[in-house]
Structure 1
Amino acid sequence: MLKLNVKNETSRLRAVILGTAESNGPVPKLEDCYDPKSIEHVKAGTYPKESDMVLEMEAVAQVFKKYNVQVFRPEVIIDCNQIFSRDIAFVIEDKIIRANILPNREAEVRAIKYVWDQVKHENRIILPEDCHVEGGDVMPWNDYIFIGTYSGVDYPNYITARTNKAAVLAIQRLFPNKIVKSFELRKSNTNAKENALHLDCCFQPLGRGKAIIHKNGFLIEEEYEWLINFFKKQNIFEITKEEMYNMNSNVFSISEDIVISEKNFTRLNNWLRSEGFIVEEVPYTEIAKQEGLLRCSTLPLIRD
Structure 2
Amino acid sequence: MMDVFVDSETAPLRSVIVGYPDNFLQVDAEIINETQRQYYDGPDAPTPEAVTAQLNGFIDVLRSRGVSVIQPHALPYVPDQMMTRDIGVVIGTTFIVTTMAARSRRLEWRGYSHLFERFPEDVKVLFGPEDLVIEGGDVIVDRGKVFVGIGQRTTLAGAAWLMQLVPDYEIVPITLSGLDDGEDVLHLDCSFLPVGDGYALIYPGGMREIPATLRETYELIEVTRDEQQALGTNVLSLSPDTVVSQPSMTRINGEMRARGIEVVEVPYSEPPKTGGSFRCCTLPLHRAH
The Cα shift of 1:299 comes to 0.3
Deviation at 1:284, TM superposition (A): 1.1
- Flag the 1:107–1:129 CA change in 2: closer, same or farther, 3 A: closer
The whole-number CA distance in structure 1 between the counterparts of 2:188 and 2:82 is 18
1:130 and 1:166 in contact (8 A); partners too: no
Write out aligned runs for 1:169-248 (5 A): 169-188=160-179, 194-219=183-208, 221-223=209-211, 225-231=212-218, 235-248=219-232
Q: Structure 2 CA distance, aligned partners of 1:39 and 1:26?
A: 17
Per the alignment, residue 16 of structure 2 pairs with 16
* CA positional deviation for 1:8: 0.9
The amino acid of 1:66's aligned partner reads S
Determine helix, strand or coil for the equivalent of 1:34.
coil
CA deviations over 1:199-236 (Å, ceiling 9, x no partner):
000000012211100011002x253x5422331xxx32
Partner of 1:257: 241
What is the aligned partner in structure 2 of residue 100 from structure 1?
Answer: 99
Partner residue, 1:158: none
SS of structure 1 residue aligned to 2:179: coil
Deviation at 1:141, TM superposition (A): 0.9
Amino acid at match of 1:268: I
Q: Could you tell me which amino acid in structure 1 is paired with residue 12 of structure 2?
A: R
Give structure 2 stretches of 5+ with no counterpart.
none
For structure 1, which runs of at least 5 residues remain unmatched after alignment? Answer: 151-160
Q: Judge which range, 38-47 or 256-265, deviates more.
A: 38-47
Q: Would you say 1:267 and 2:247 are equivalent positions?
A: no
Alignment of 1:43-82 (within 5 A): 43-78=41-76, 80-82=79-81
CA distance in 2, matches of 1:27, 1:130: 27
Q: Confirm or deny: 8 A CA contact 2:139 2:188 kept in the other structure.
A: yes
Paired with 1:58 and 1:34, the residues of 2 have a C-alpha distance of 24
- Specify the alignment match of 1:140 in structure 2: 141
Asked whether the 8 Å contact 2:99–2:134 carries over to 1, the reply is yes
- When the two chains are superposed, the root-mean-square deviation of aligned CA atoms in Å is 1.9
Do the aligned residues in 2 keep the contact of 1:137 with 1:147 (CA within 8 Å)?
yes
- Report the AA paired with residue 207 of structure 1: G
Q: Does the CA-based 8 Å contact 1:11-1:256 persist in structure 2?
A: yes
Give the TM-score normalised by structure 2: 0.93
- CA deviation after TM superposition for structure 1 residue 139, in Å: 0.6
Aligned-partner residue type, residue 44 of structure 1: G
Q: Which residue of 2 aligns with 1:163?
A: 154
Deviations 1:226-284 (A, max 9, x none): 422331xxx32111111100000000001001101011111111121121111111111
**What is the CA–CA distance in structure 2 between the aligned matches of 1:168 and 1:60, rounded to whole Å?**
31
Comparing 247-256 with 280-289, greater Cα deviation is found at 280-289
Contact 1:27–1:42 (CA<8 Å) still a contact in 2?
Answer: no
Which structure's residues are more often helix, by fraction? 1
Q: Distance in 2 between matches of 1:43 and 1:302?
A: 38
> Under a length normalisation based on structure 1, what TM-score does the superposition of the two structures give?
0.89
Checking the alignment, whether the CA contact within 8 Å between 2:198 and 2:217 is kept in structure 1 is: no
Distance across 1 between alignment mates of 2:60 and 2:40: 30
TM superposition outliers: structure 1 runs of 4+ over 4 Å: 26-29
- Contact preservation (8 Å) 1:90, 1:299: yes
Alignment length, in residue pairs? Answer: 285
| CA distances 1:26-73 after superposition (whole Å, capped 9, x unpaired) | 4966xx210011101124332101111111111111111111111100
Matching of residue 276 in structure 1 with residue 260 in structure 2: yes
- SS class of match (1:285): coil
